[in-house]
Amino acid sequence: MRFAPLTKAPSVTALIVEYRRAPEFPYPTQIEDMTSVYRELLARGYASRDITTIGDSAGGNLAMSTVLRLRQDDIPLPGGIITFSPWLDMKYSGETLVTNDAKNALVNTPFVKAMSEMFLGDAGRADDPLAGSDETLLDDARRLADRARAAGVDVTLSIVDHMRHVFPILAGRAEEADQELARISSR
């Protein structure tokens, strides 16, 4: 489990949601599944301030999109959102897709383009609202932080030198991943 280091505190309960995935279930079914689970948590007595949504890459998109849908539906928002290497730009316009392409074997422009088309299917649009320094999606994270700050949200953007896409999966094997997860867990 990628986020296991974040769930070690005795006061933390983790819930892993099996949501419907593209291409069989294109956007916005994933958001519908996540908002349904969130509403159920509230109905079971969990306080919104005690809930944090977490996701990496496309899961970072889903974490953000879920919170935006909750806000749109006037549902109390979670106390926190954690995204690792969030994939937010369905137009794949970030400069770091090009400038960091050679540094990142996992995510490149053709891959992001193909995944965007699969995710959106016929129902979505590329402009629907929906990191490490060598991250190809670094610009997505920067724009997210800038927009959130402009909206008055308390944001911590952590850019870890020489780390690539979703580097926290290296926990236990890379000191940078361990340090970053420990920093997040201490908040």
pLDDT digits (tens, 9 = 90+) for 48-84: 999 999 988 888 889 988 998 999 999 999 999 888 8
Q: Say whether pLDDT at 132 is over 60.
A: no
Report the pLDDT value the prediction gives residue 136, as an integer from 0 to 100.
60
pLDDT class of 126 with cuts at 50, 70, 90: very low
Domain-by-domain residue ranges, the chain?
4-185
Strands (E), the chain: 52-56, 80-84
Q: According to CATH, what is the number of the domain 4-185? A: 3.40.50.1820
User: Could you tell me the two tokens for 148?
Assistant: 């959130």
165 pLDDT band, cuts 50/70/90, is: confident
Both tokens assigned to 39 = 């509403």
For helices 58-72 and 29-43, angle between their N-to-C axes, nearest 10 degrees: 60
- pLDDT band at 34; cut points 50, 70, 90: very high
pLDDT exceeds cutoff 70 at 127 = no
The pLDDT of residue 86: 80
**Whether the predicted pLDDT of 13 surpasses 80:** yes
Q: pTM (2 decimals)? A: 0.69
- What is the predicted pLDDT for the residue at 37? 98
CB 123, CB 27: distance < 8 Å: yes
Among the listed residues 164, 148, 40, 176, the one whose alpha carbon sits nearest the alpha carbon of residue 96: 164
Q: Please give the Cα distance from 71 to 50 (Å, whole number).
A: 17
Query: Would you tell me how many other CB atoms lie within 10 Å of the CB of residue 172?
Result: 11
